Structure 1
Amino acid sequence: MEPLYSLIVPIYNEEANIAELYRRVSAVMEQLDGDAELLFVDDGSRDRSLAMIQALRQQDSRVCYLSFARNFGHQIAVTAGLNFARGKAVVVMDADLQDPPELILDMAEQWHQGYHVVYAQRTQRRQESLLKRGFAYVFYRLLTRLADVDIPTDTGDFCLMDRQVVSVLNAMPERNRYIRGLRAWIGFRQTAIRFERDPRFAGEVKYTFRKSLSLGINGLVSFSKVPLRLSTYVGLIAAAIALLMVVLVLYWRFFDPNSRLTGFATIAVAIFFLGAVQLISIGILGEYIGRIYEEVKGRPLYTLAEVAGFPNIQRSTPNGAIAVRHDSTS
């Protein structure tokens, strides 16, 4: 029988968290009102994460897993989990236990009340640096103002989604994926469950500031054309300033030839200003063109080295993934 719930957990070097994660998640699975599967997606881990998942698979038939042939990134790992999840309700959560598994029971209750998406919204971030909290606060509110869709603030990928929503997500072929944005773009009935985010249980933080910034830029570019318009506006302002400079230069030339504002310094400042405007505009265009380039190549989003727990698995998924080895215990 197909499970009623699928719990997707991306894994990247999380050997210190897997045992406690399994203990808490399995306790939640026992309290759910239907059968559940626990789907681990190993994102090319270099530690003992995959071996620990394989051991869990041997002792618990509800555990299934995908193992990437290399590291493809968190958002792609979530995408792979969505491609393979079989439940009518699909939960996405991280492995560091900052997303409390016990909240899944509240999400399931909201799902039974008719909501298609139940997302967790953070009210507080415990033991996170002031810089990271400040960056997150500014980014989410900036994205809300600039995005073409209403993306809820202070939300991550921790959510429960109905099978209808998952099917639509799986039909989207785009490569630069920002799951929480796509989730909002799809629509359907959505609601929030607020919670205080716990600190990481163990191990090192995987989303460094650089990765968080990259994800933020990806989300902004994927759901807003404002940066492109901004370069146009800056270009218009630069053109207005250039016209003003023409008027000033003519004035100085004919009425005040000895002015200290004339000469090489003025020309140099104007050149540097226009050069900066051009480079910024080219950079913004490059972000969008780079995404077009990624889309037209048509490569699969990920490749799989090992799959276990899926008896009727196909050799490929809607996103073109290739299953290299199929575990005989599936």
Structure 2
Amino acid sequence: MNMRTWPPAPERTCLLSIVLPLFNEEAVLPMLHQRLLAAVADVAGAVEIVYVDDGSSDGSPEILKRLRAGCSMVSVLRFSRNFGKEQAITAGLQIARGAAVIVMDSDLQHPPEMIPAMLQAWRDGADVVNMRRRSRADESWLKRQAARGFYRAINRLSDMPIPEDVGDFRLFSRRAVDALNQLQERNRFMKGLFAWIGYRQVTLDFDCGERAAGYSKWRFRQLWQFAIEGITAFSVAPLKVATKVGLTCALLSFALGLSFFVRALAFGDPVPGFPTLIVVVLMLGGLQMLAIGVLGEYIGRLSLESKRRPLFLIESYEPATAYVPLLQPVSER
């Protein structure tokens, strides 16, 4: 598909769009689709299910073709390669045509059975419905502590509070989706962008299900990079910290040097030498390298932004064929 014509011009609208980014989920897709159909069976309005295939290398593309052939409300978007979950969510939001749009994972840890409650909160006036996990008991101790530390750090450093234990499982009104689609930065940290747009937000609690099949694609190294991405995307506090640490070290060094000078001049006290000198040099060198590294993170992201590369490339896009326009337009809040 020509990226100059992306996203495609909207031709039809529906009540609800469900956006599901996925990568190598062949084992869970049939079960996921059945539970989605059961969850939206009583929705009073047309629905589309948007599967965004983030360059899967297993049998997911073939399964998606079969699902679309057997269900007219299915749209399938496939990337030319794996670009990442944040880009897949971005693409799904750009093609979603619903008056309300739900984003959820494809591993069934986000239960489709919560969709009616999310729709009700939207009908009650919410523009963003955040879904918060009641418990992380299913995760390892290390992962729980890492998640807690990440949210604590980013909320301390960022001017934009990000709700804790709220992932990508959310509902957005049409005006919230339109606002998100205006944000064109290349370094995508969707949790931050979801919070940044504001509007009226409510939070519902849910019990996170077990992964139905397959395995998590997130490794500790990827989670670490994700955390760095989030902090640098929504806060310049690390740069300020580096400046403050550098200023503090400079003042301490000046005071220490003055102390040594006075002691040597007034009392003839020799300056103790080699071990102290080495420790100070190594400490200051380490702080300098840390500051340079922090600066490099921001410069690297500025470099990526300046190149203005597309967020993703599309291999194919097959829209739903039978979701119909609403009989009565839904007002946009």
TM-score when normalising by structure 1: 0.90
Tell me how far apart the structure 2 counterparts of residues 189 and 267 of structure 1 sit (CA, whole Å): 57
SS at match of 1:137: helix
Distance apart, 1:251 and its partner CA: 4.0
Q: Deviations over 1:205-242 (max 9, x none)?
A: 11211111111111111111111110011011111221
CA contact (8 A) 2:129 2:204 kept: yes
Q: Percent identity among equivalent residues? A: 42
SS at match of 1:91: strand
Distance apart, 1:196 and its partner CA: 2.3
Q: Deviations over 1:131-158 (max 9, x none)?
A: 0011111111221222111211111111
Q: 1:87 aligns with which of 85, 98, 116?
A: 98
Q: How does 1:138-149 map to 2 (within 5 A)?
A: 138-149=149-160
- One-letter identity of the residue aligned with 1:191: V
Q: Deviations over 1:252-286 (max 9, x none)?
A: 53356666x61122221121111111111111111
1:268 is aligned to 2:271: no
Tell me how far apart the structure 2 counterparts of residues 48 and 126 of structure 1 sit (CA, whole Å): 31
Question: Is the alpha carbon distance of 1:162 and 1:242 closer, same or farther for their aligned partners in structure 2, counting shifts above 3 Å?
Answer: same
Tell me how far apart the structure 2 counterparts of residues 195 and 161 of structure 1 sit (CA, whole Å): 17
Q: How does 1:1-330 map to 2 (within 5 A)?
A: 1-254=12-265, 262-309=272-319
- One-letter identity of the residue aligned with 1:44: G
Q: Deviations over 1:132-187 (max 9, x none)?
A: 01111111122122211121111111100011011111111101111121111111
CA contact (8 A) 2:48 2:320 kept: no
Q: CA RMSD in A?
A: 1.5
- One-letter identity of the residue aligned with 1:140: Y
Moved over 2 A (4+): 251-259
CA contact (8 A) 1:252 1:262 kept: no
- One-letter identity of the residue aligned with 1:210: R
Tell me how far apart the structure 2 counterparts of residues 214 and 165 of structure 1 sit (CA, whole Å): 27
Unaligned runs of 5+ in 1: 312-330
CA contact (8 A) 1:107 1:160 kept: yes
Distance apart, 1:93 and its partner CA: 0.3
- One-letter identity of the residue aligned with 1:195: F
CA contact (8 A) 2:52 2:88 kept: yes
Number of equivalenced pairs: 310
CA contact (8 A) 1:14 1:49 kept: yes
Tell me how far apart the structure 2 counterparts of residues 201 and 6 of structure 1 sit (CA, whole Å): 23
CA contact (8 A) 1:126 1:199 kept: no
Q: Deviations over 1:8-67 (max 9, x none)?
A: 001101111111111111111212221111100000111001110111000001111110
CA contact (8 A) 1:11 1:40 kept: yes
CA contact (8 A) 2:72 2:320 kept: no
Tell me how far apart the structure 2 counterparts of residues 256 and 32 of structure 1 sit (CA, whole Å): 87
CA contact (8 A) 1:25 1:101 kept: yes
The worse-fitting range, judged by mean Cα deviation, of 194-203 and 300-309 is: 194-203
- One-letter identity of the residue aligned with 1:178: F
- One-letter identity of the residue aligned with 1:226: A
Distance apart, 1:198 and its partner CA: 2.0
- One-letter identity of the residue aligned with 1:182: L
